[in-house]
Amino acid sequence: MVIQVHGYAAQQAKAGLAPYSFERREPGPFDVAIDISYCGICHTDIHQVGDEWGGSTFPMVPGHEITGIVSQVGPKVTRYKVGDRVGVGCFVNSCRKCEPCRKNLEQYCVEGMTTTYNGIERDGKTRTQGGYSNKIVVDENYVLKIPGNLPLDKTAPLLCAGITLYSPLVHWKAGPGKKVAIIGLGGIGHMGVKIAHALGAEVTVLSHSLKKQEDGKKLGANYFYATSDPKTFEKLKGYFDLIINTVSAELDWNQYLELLALDGVMVVVGIPEKQTPVGSFSLVAGRRSLAGSLIGGIKETQEMLDFCSKNNITSEVELVPIQRVNEAYKRVVNSDVRYRFVIDIKSIEQKESH
């Protein structure tokens, strides 16, 4: 039997989210049905609802930072049982055959990963809908175990914001003796500070102003600089081994590339709406690299959750009932959240029972 689901959806681009009922598939042999407890609000959700990157389809139920409890398992499921604490991140399937998939890098699937929402299932016709809803059905190979000491609400953002920073920090070997800068102390950036600090790197936050300086230091930053001050770029020239740019606002990347030491790397994880011009000289002058990174595969995401469990790392969150999701969107756009909104999905059911 199909599963009846209640959630919130946008019916068209830039529309507010409103109650929406729909159906999920009956769990197949390898499927896990999950009662969703919490879902983080990612800036990607806002971009997709606004069709800012193109290709959005409606009605759309956003949400790819999902935590909850297993309520049902298919007959061939071996990894999970009813009652397990689990998570679902940015994708729910991939081709499993291409080289990236075979290397546990499903996010770079040659055919394209099946995104948790605003995507198409591998059957080529069923649209995926996300975690702003009370239930989801996912193949067990794309479900994550949430360690027992991590609270489900504060862990939800780790499934996108956490892995988005963990993956490049580990790939480019942030650790003792490495000088790492995080551009932007927002929903993603604050996770970068916590993770880089736990990896043992020296961490600097580069933020537009100093207003979050105290927070930055509490989260684990050694240094904090305002990028609105031109002296910052003079003082830090040639200083960093690794810079991670988490902001999707338009910046002069050339200015930041100049802050890299010899063989330094700047990694882009925030996606601006317009193309960013890059001058050759800022790269060739110090054998510098400009790179990009996209979330992480399932294996690496599980590693990240285990690392966060060991180091007691969670996201700084503000919990909201789903009825206030449109207000939360406005506040995210205005950078008025410290540091990630998480929707309490139980609020859907409470509303219905009145």
Residues 277, 178, single domain; the answer is yes
Q: Are residues 84 and 137 in the same domain?
A: yes
354 falls in which pLDDT band (50, 70, 90)? very low
Distance CA(245)–CA(154), nearest Å, equals 23
CA 111/CA 101 separation, integer angstroms:
10
What span, in angstroms and rounded, lies between the C-alpha atoms of 287 and 94? Answer: 35
> Is residue 209 domain-resident?
yes
pLDDT, tens digit (0-9, with 9 covering 90-100), for 290-337: 999 999 999 999 999 999 999 999 999 999 999 999 999 999 999 899
280: domain CATH number is: 3.40.50.720
Among the candidates 242, 259, 292, a domain finishes at 292
- C-alpha to C-alpha distance for 29 and 174, rounded to whole angstroms: 41
150 with 165, same domain: the answer is no
Q: Percent of the chain at pLDDT above 90?
A: 94
Domain-embedded: residue 126:
yes
First to last CA, the chain: 27
What's the mean pLDDT in 60-80? 98
**What is the percent of the chain where pLDDT is above 70?**
99
Q: Which contiguous run of DSSP H or E holds residue 333? A: helix 325-333
Cβ–Cβ < 8 Å for 129, 66: no
For residue 269, give Cα distances in angstroms to 6, 9, 162, 243. Answer: 32, 26, 12, 11
Q: What is the mean pLDDT of residues 2-17?
A: 96
pLDDT tens digits, residue range 244-280?
999 988 999 999 999 999 999 999 999 887 889 999 9
Give residue 55's domain range. 3-160+316-353
3-state SS class at 308:
helix
Q: Structural domain tally of the chain?
A: 2
Co-location of 7 and 153 in the same domain: yes
Residue 139: left if φ>0, alpha if ψ -120 to 50, beta else—which one? Answer: beta
Averaged pLDDT, 126-139: 98
Above 50 in pLDDT, residue 68?
Answer: yes
- 46 within domain boundaries: yes
Compute the distance between CA of residue 256 and CA of residue 265 in angstroms, rounded to an integer. 10
Q: Examine residue 107 and state whether it is found in any structural domain, yes or no.
A: yes
Please report which confidence band the pLDDT of residue 350 belongs to, taking 50, 70 and 90 as the band edges: low
Single pTM value for the model? 0.96
Are 140 and 177 in the same domain?
Answer: no
The CATH number of the domain holding residue 36 is 3.90.180.10
Quote the CA–CA distance of 255 and 170 in Å, as a whole number.
Answer: 25
